[in-house]
Amino acid sequence: MYPITYITDCFDSNARARLSTRIGALFGQPPTIVAADGPDPESFAALTLLDCLLATESLGTSGHPTITLLNIAPRDGAWPNGVPFCFFWYGEHLVASTFNARALALVRRELGIDHVYVTDIREAVTAAGFSAADIEKLAGTQFRSLWYLPLLAKWVADGRAVPSTETAIPAGVDEEPAVAVVDNFGNCKLDRRLDFAPGDTRTVVRRNDDGTTELVDVACYRHLTDVPRGAAGLIVGSSGTGFAELVVRGGSAARRFGLRPGDSPLRRTAVECAA
């Protein structure tokens, strides 16, 4: 059996119950469901997907294949009934996902996964031999991440041929470093590495409760334990491939600087992003 992780922005109790039951019926075990919540679920999903794949490395043993499902599907009118679903492999690990460039941006940049296999629901379920009634149900449902995405993962994991088109993941624009995740300690995980050495300083934008902002010089450190207690610091964090984190030792950087996922906390002229 495959360990299954499902990252989704559809995570209320009703949705969790249905997702767990359907995936359990297909795979013989329920998934771990991870809520992509907050103001920028795409950035959360992008970093969490990258971290899930990186977590399969350096096991000291051969390990087991995993399946990660990702559902972040804004209905922006560009696709009939929403953005399509795709799949790709990272070594022996399978990812089945909505074809969302922002959610896939970090695996593209950090892991070199620049192409995925995009599927059409109607074509895929027709090829799988479903009845006409089920084809209409699966292709027309609003909850495609329940009815179709687990099927796609199951078919690909089982080695079944699924009609698909190899498609490039669009390259994103070179945006400023942004907060991708605020962890339960209030540490702000950025979406990339920063080119700094211990002792350097970077300028962080603090957003005050009254709507004003101010610039604060923050020192850089190698580890959290190097940051003086109660002080803010930029460190090499635990996520990504050495991505930076803005922290307050013994406190919440998100609270102190007024930051949420999607915010760009660093003044661009003060940092250089690693290639």
Give the residue ranges of the chain where pLDDT is below 50. 269-275
Tell me the pLDDT tens digit for each residue of 160-209.
Answer: 999 999 999 998 777 799 999 999 999 999 999 999 999 999 999 999 98
- Which residue matches tokens 């698909």? 164
Would you kindly state where each structural domain of the chain is located, as residue ranges? 4-168, 179-270
What's CA 154's distance to the chain center, in Å? Answer: 21
What percentage of the chain carries pLDDT values higher than 90? Answer: 87
CATH homologous superfamily of domain 179-270?
Answer: Bacterial fluorinating enzyme like (2.40.30.90)
CATH architecture for residues 4-168: 3-Layer(aba) Sandwich (3.40)
What whole-number distance in Å separates Cα of residue 171 and Cα of residue 108? Answer: 8
Residue 269: per-residue pLDDT: 45
Amino acid, single-letter form, for residue 181: V
What is the pTM (predicted TM-score) of this model?
0.93
What whole-number distance in Å separates Cα of residue 160 and Cα of residue 122? Answer: 16
Q: Are 248 and 230 within 8 A, CB to CB?
A: yes
Classified as helix, coil or strand, 119 is strand
Residue 271: per-residue pLDDT: 41
Tally Cβ neighbours within 10 Å of residue 155. Answer: 20
Tell me the pLDDT tens digit for each residue of 72-82.
Answer: 976 555 666 67
